Amino acid sequence: MERYRNKSGKSGVTAYAIGADAIEVRFVGGDVYRYSYASAGRARVEEMKRLARGGEGLSGYIARHARDAYER
């Protein structure tokens, strides 16, 4: 996993791993959630990938748009 840059310093995300059709996100407590095209939809996953690479806004986006749309 790649460390999340957390530009705001307030994110609940600590790391992420990007796959072709999914993203895995590790949160502060250590839990890892996988969001895939099948579970969250292509547009949401692609936006999460963009935010992860940018190091800002990922936790908030997940809370607002994909909270329960994870596979595992």
The model's pTM: 0.93
- Residue 64 CA from chain centroid, whole number: 12
The pLDDT value given to residue 8: 85
pLDDT at residue 9 greater than cutoff 90: no
- Nearest 5°: CA angle at 69, between 22 and 56? 65
Q: Are 68 and 37 in contact (CB under 8 A)?
A: no
- Nearest 5°: CA angle at 48, between 46 and 50? 70
Please give the average per-residue pLDDT across 49-70, as a whole number: 96
Using DSSP bridges, classify how beta strands 22-27 and 13-18 pair: parallel, antiparallel or unpaired. antiparallel
- The string of pLDDT tens digits covering residues 15-51 is 999 999 999 999 999 999 999 999 999 999 999 999 9
